[in-house]
Amino acid sequence: MIEFLQICVGGLVVGSIYALIALGFSLIYRVTGAVSLAQGGFSVLGALIGYTLSQTYGWPLFLAIPVAVLATVAIGAGLGAISFVPALERLSNANVLMLTVGLLTAIEGLCLVVWGSQPYALPPFSGESPARIGPLLVPTQAFWVVAAAAAVIAGLWVLITRTRLGRALRACAENPTAASLMGIGVKRMTLLSFGLATLIAAIAGVVVAPTTTLQFDTGRLLTISGFIAVVIGGITSFPGAVAGGLLLGLTTQLATAYVSTLFSNAIALLILLFVLVWRPNGLIQAKVAGRADVREGGRVHGHVARLQPNVAWIAVTVALAVALAVPLLVTSNGIMSGITIAMILFITLIGLDVLMGYTGQVSLGQAGFMAIGGYTSGYLTIVHDVAPVLSILAGMALSLGCALVLSMVTLRLRGLYLALATLAFGLLVDSFAVGFVDITGGPSGMVGIPSFSVGGYEFASPRAMYYLVLGINVVLLASFFGAMNSGFGRALRAIRTDQTAAAALGINIVRYKLVAFAISALLASLSGSLYAFFFNFLSPDMVGTNRSLELVSMLVIGGEGTLVGPLFGSLLITLLPTVFQPFALYKTLLSGGLLVVCFLYLPQGLYGALAERLARLSLGRPARAGGAELIRSTPR
């Protein structure tokens, strides 16, 4: 019983942190209709600044902590003003969500550059010795955490319900157009909500820092937990966010204690998937109507210039010649490996482009399918001595199965819920990869995976693997170009931009979404298998959530909805750290920053910008006349 209570206290502390992060989500969502995933990043940033001020410069805590919080808010508001606020006017909500993924990555990259990758812990605010309440031992920091959460909740409640400013915020939340007509500066309110959310996140960061260790990428765990909490609780309601946070904290702590440390994440994620299926709006729903689609119209998608056939054929010939010559020109083995890795990842990206770029379905868990493919191939070839080709097919079959099961959840979801469900899927696969030590080798990875071989020929060197993957890529590109530039691709793009109008033309939305999802899963699985064969090794963090988010960056930086574009993103992000060693440290910062910049200023990506230049080289052509005949006649 005492043990149970002790665990509950722990759960309450963790839950308070989740609740704080969740409150930030809910606040921004209610005011802007968009979600910012940067929350957890600001928590870590605040804690690390606090560490430097108090431990390196020796400031007393009572001074260091508030200054750290204020500094974080200043940085957060600055970043918000140049990225999040302008993005709201230009991008769809799903893309704003992706942009904040870039923001989160950039903040992590910044922390990596400044603080390195080692873990940090602040000293407890009021001494190490725990307080004794009856038979329970409670660390004093727990009181700080709970008190901070209570103070923030109370403060927010007063602000929202009792002040003029709060009324203006609520007006923006319910009807931004009307609010702006009433003289409320919607932009300023957006920035204010972003700054407030940063404040909440920073407070959460500094109070939690003494109870655990933080490093540059702990932020994404906090973000994910807060996101899960807010969806379980109901994103449109503050009490929902708090309840969701506490529930999640208690559940994970109890699961860790009584079930298994390794699967506590899995349990949280399964709860989330159930909530998404049974109560997609969360357990507690606000009385105000949701506003998800208020600003959706008009900003859905820019278009990408298409090349005229003659230009396109020349470009294809040149590209193919260059691709064939690359292994002859590149002498460094490191760079050759980098190029091969980029090409292997490109297989996943083609599928992701079909899913995201063409069909408009967000996926933050694509690496999960890479993991399924990679581990299945590795396990079958090592333990059962199965031929690599067959092991790849087995992985693809398993991925397809998982995709079909997952699509029972995802087909009903859109926008941020879809993003969250796919994220949860990736994390679930990740926690199984870590947890099933006997099969996957656990956190230290699976060793001894053979190289890919067919009929006795072994693709052992990067060059051999390069030509194999190049062949696969060419076949995939050729077939998807065929499909995407004709009826199949048009149906997908119709669904992306207007589902109602697409249905009114007889386009079966469910079927096409399912096919696009299946294609992306199959290709990711294939790519994951090849990835494992290439490294002769696979560990959970090679195909974890970091990878999923990196894939999204590559896709957007290269150019969505272009098929070939993502190769540019893949090459850029994979090769820069290899070619220029100092970049290794800056890689995270760079890929996050590039993602934000591309979303804001280069929505068609690197390739899209290039294609637009090329397209100007060619002209349109005129057409002929007809009449009633034409309308009536059926071809053939």
Through-space distance between the first and last CA atoms of the chain, rounded to whole angstroms: 79
- Residues 549-576 as b/e (b if ≥16 CB within 10 A, e otherwise) read bbbbbbbbbbbbbbbbbbbbbbbbbbbb
- Site membership for another protein, residue 628 (CB under 8 A): yes
- Site membership for another protein, residue 503 (CB under 8 A): yes
User: Residue 96 and residue 36: Cα distance in Å, rounded?
Assistant: 8
CB 301, min distance to another protein, A: 4
Q: Which two structure tokens, joined as six digits, stand for 86?
A: 């302008």
Q: Which two structure tokens, joined as six digits, stand for 204?
A: 């959460």
Q: What does the DSSP assignment read for 244-312? A: HHHHHHHHHHHHHHHT-STTHHHHHHHHHHHHHHH-TT-SS--SSPP-TTTT-TT-S--------HHHH
- Site membership for another protein, residue 630 (CB under 8 A): yes
CB 49, min distance to another protein, A: 42
Helix (H, G, I), strand (E, B) or coil at 35: coil
Number of CB atoms found within 10 A of residue 133's CB: 10
Site string for another protein, 511-550 (x = CB under 8 A): ----x-----------------------------------
Give the residue with the Cβ less far from another protein, 261 or 508.
Answer: 508
Site string for another protein, 451-490 (x = CB under 8 A): ---------------------------xxx-xx--xxx-x
CB 306, min distance to another protein, A: 8
Exposed, middle or buried, 182 (CB in 10 Å: 0-12/13-18/19+)? exposed
SS3 sequence of 529-558: HHHHHHHCEECHHHHCHHHHHHHHHHHHHH
CA nearest to 104, candidates 368, 576, 358, 419: 419
- Site membership for another protein, residue 497 (CB under 8 A): yes
Determine the interface stretch with another protein among 123-131, 254-262, 426-434, 499-507 (rule: CB under 8 A): 499-507
Site string for another protein, 545-574 (x = CB under 8 A): ----------------x-------------
CA nearest to 372, candidates 518, 591, 522: 522
Give the residue with the Cβ less far from another protein, 613 or 624.
Answer: 624
- Per CB under 8 A, the list member of 162, 188, 303, 384 interacting with another protein is 303
- Per CB under 8 A, the list member of 67, 159, 283, 300 interacting with another protein is 300
- Site membership for another protein, residue 576 (CB under 8 A): no
Q: Which two structure tokens, joined as six digits, stand for 584?
A: 């290794």
- Per CB under 8 A, the list member of 500, 581, 582, 613 interacting with another protein is 500
CA quadruple 255, 260, 265, 270: dihedral sign: negative
- Site membership for another protein, residue 309 (CB under 8 A): no
- Per CB under 8 A, the list member of 471, 508, 580, 584 interacting with another protein is 508
Site for another protein, residues 166 to 225, rule: CB under 8 A = none
Going by the DSSP 8-state scheme, the letter that residue 212 receives in this structure is S
- Site membership for another protein, residue 627 (CB under 8 A): yes
Helix (H, G, I), strand (E, B) or coil at 454: strand
- Site membership for another protein, residue 132 (CB under 8 A): no
Binding residue count for another protein, defined by CB under 8 A: 48
Write phi, then psi, for 138 (nearest 5 degrees).
-120, 120
Cα angle for residues 512, 518, 520 (degrees, 5° grid): 105
CB 302, min distance to another protein, A: 7
- Per CB under 8 A, the list member of 501, 579, 584, 617 interacting with another protein is 501
CB 478, min distance to another protein, A: 7
Determine the interface stretch with another protein among 114-122, 294-302, 458-466, 547-555 (rule: CB under 8 A): 294-302
> How large is the C-alpha radius of gyration of the chain?
25
Give the residue with the Cβ less far from another protein, 60 or 298.
Answer: 298
Determine the interface stretch with another protein among 230-238, 316-324, 415-423, 494-502 (rule: CB under 8 A): 494-502
Residue 275: CA count within 13 A, CB half-sphere:
27
Give the residue with the Cβ less far from another protein, 30 or 513.
Answer: 513
**Cβ-based neighbours of 557, under 8 Å, separated by 6 or more:** 568, 569, 572, 573, 591, 594, 595, 598, 605, 606
Site string for another protein, 591-620 (x = CB under 8 A): -----------------------------x
CB 618, min distance to another protein, A: 10
- Per CB under 8 A, the list member of 506, 581, 582, 613 interacting with another protein is 506
- Site membership for another protein, residue 623 (CB under 8 A): yes
Pairing of the two strands 537-538 and 457-459: unpaired
Judge contact between 489 and 561, C-beta under 8 A.
no
- Site membership for another protein, residue 362 (CB under 8 A): no
Helix (H) or strand (E) holding 614: helix 605-615
Give the residue with the Cβ less far from another protein, 279 or 490.
Answer: 490
- Per CB under 8 A, the list member of 496, 513, 547, 587 interacting with another protein is 496
Give the residue with the Cβ less far from another protein, 208 or 502.
Answer: 502
The residues of the shown chain that bind another protein, judged by CB under 8 A, are 298, 300-303, 306, 478-480, 482-483, 486-488, 490-491, 493-494, 496-498, 500-509, 515, 561, 620, 622-632, 634-636
